[in-house]
């Protein structure tokens, strides 16, 4: 018997009937220009702040949901910089950021919407561990169509826009063609901020056991970057085969989703039979490209069979 990994969805897409894909309202050239602007913003303005302040915020952070869900004044400062710059460049677009999100009030509409995490991997950032990044995505009609993820500590820039391919440090991503099977995979798994005994925490731990056990999935191994955006990007360029998560938010995955999709990967739900999910589903399974679609589908079904 399997359980459902459940997280209350407080950030909802307001679905309205649309005849065509809303992203078609923006041409591939326009999306590329937005991508380039986000790359410049990340590299020139946000990166230097993250790099100079990493490891300097001990004793200067606050708890959000609990004592391991953290925020610093730098998170808020960076989001403010991004919001002001993007509002200036695109006054007709909407903006949703992690630090200005208001439960029950903030929603993703069909309008072009920037979905931003100013610092993904805040705990890493506080500890000076070099796996924090800025994650800036654009969704249109609820579909991620532009994504920029920049880790200035390791000089890692991932970026993409719909129809224009995915890039790592300005080199087009080509995932090496190879078979995709659960047993021969390396998968990103995270502990998450919710640690109290109960349904979600227990399901995650039991699922990890199922995947790693020689009586279960017997995968090659698991990795944890401590950043959803970085995990998504590592799947996008083929360094990881998949990433499974429950509990993160649209701003954690929007940018990485676009980058992954443009490199041939897919994003489905973290629970069984969730093939088509909105960007704010909060339970995700990201799977790399470099293989046939039928292999991706078989991998997903195999993975779902081990969700506790």
CB count, 10 Å around CB of 96?
Answer: 24
Question: Is 98 assigned a catalytic role?
Answer: yes
In sequence order, the 6+-apart residues with CB closer than 8 A to the CB of 30 are none
Say which of 96, 122, 190, 241 is annotated catalytic.
122
Say which of 13, 82, 119, 203 is annotated catalytic.
119
Question: Is 143 assigned a catalytic role?
Answer: no
Question: Is 120 assigned a catalytic role?
Answer: yes
Say which of 35, 79, 99, 117 is annotated catalytic.
117
Say which of 35, 75, 79, 120 is annotated catalytic.
120
In sequence order, the 6+-apart residues with CB closer than 8 A to the CB of 68 are 123, 193, 195
Say which of 35, 75, 79, 98 is annotated catalytic.
98
Say which of 252, 262, 266, 280 is annotated catalytic.
252
The DSSP-derived string for 184-228 is T-EEEE---S--SSSHHHHHHHHHHHHHHSTTTT--SEEE--S-H
Question: Is 252 assigned a catalytic role?
Answer: yes
Question: Is 122 assigned a catalytic role?
Answer: yes
CB count, 10 Å around CB of 218?
Answer: 13
Question: Is 34 assigned a catalytic role?
Answer: no
Could you give the residue numbers annotated as active site? 98, 117, 119-120, 122, 252
């Amino acid at each position: 018997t399997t359980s459902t990994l459940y997280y209350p969805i407080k950030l909802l897409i307001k679905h309205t009937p649309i005849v065509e894909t809303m992203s078609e309202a923006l041409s591939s050239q326009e999306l590329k220009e937005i991508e380039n602007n986000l790359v410049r913003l990340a590299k020139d303005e946000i990166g230097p702040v993250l790099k100079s302040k990493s490891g300097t915020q001990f004793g200067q952070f606050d708890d959000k949901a609990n004592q391991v869900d953290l925020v610093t004044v730098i998170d808020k400062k960076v989001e403010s910089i991004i919001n002001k710059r993007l509002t200036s460049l695109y006054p007709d677009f909407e903006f949703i950021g992690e630090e200005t999100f208001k439960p029950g009030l903030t929603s993703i509409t069909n309008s072009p919407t920037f979905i931003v995490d100013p610092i993904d991997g805040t705990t890493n950032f506080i500890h000076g561990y070099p796996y924090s990044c800025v994650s800036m995505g654009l969704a249109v009609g609820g579909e991620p169509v532009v994504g920029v993820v920049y880790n200035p500590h390791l000089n890692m820039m991932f970026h993409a826009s719909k129809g224009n391919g995915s890039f790592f440090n300005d080199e087009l991503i080509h995932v090496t063609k190879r078979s995709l099977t659960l047993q021969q995979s390396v998968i990103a798994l995270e502990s998450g901020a919710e640690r109290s005994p109960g349904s979600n925490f227990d399901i995650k731990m039991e699922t990890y056991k199922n995947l790693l056990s020689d009586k279960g999935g017997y995968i090659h191994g698991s990795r944890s970057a401590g950043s959803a955006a970085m995990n998504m990007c590592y799947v996008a360029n083929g360094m990881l085969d998949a990433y499974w998560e429950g509990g993160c938010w649209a701003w954690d995955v929007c940018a990485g989703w676009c980058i992954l999709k443009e490199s041939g990967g897919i994003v489905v739900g973290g629970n069984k039979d969730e093939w088509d999910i909105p960007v704010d589903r909060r339970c995700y399974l990201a799977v790399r490209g470099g293989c046939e679609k039928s292999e991706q589908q078989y991998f997903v079904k195999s993975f779902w069979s081990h969700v506790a």
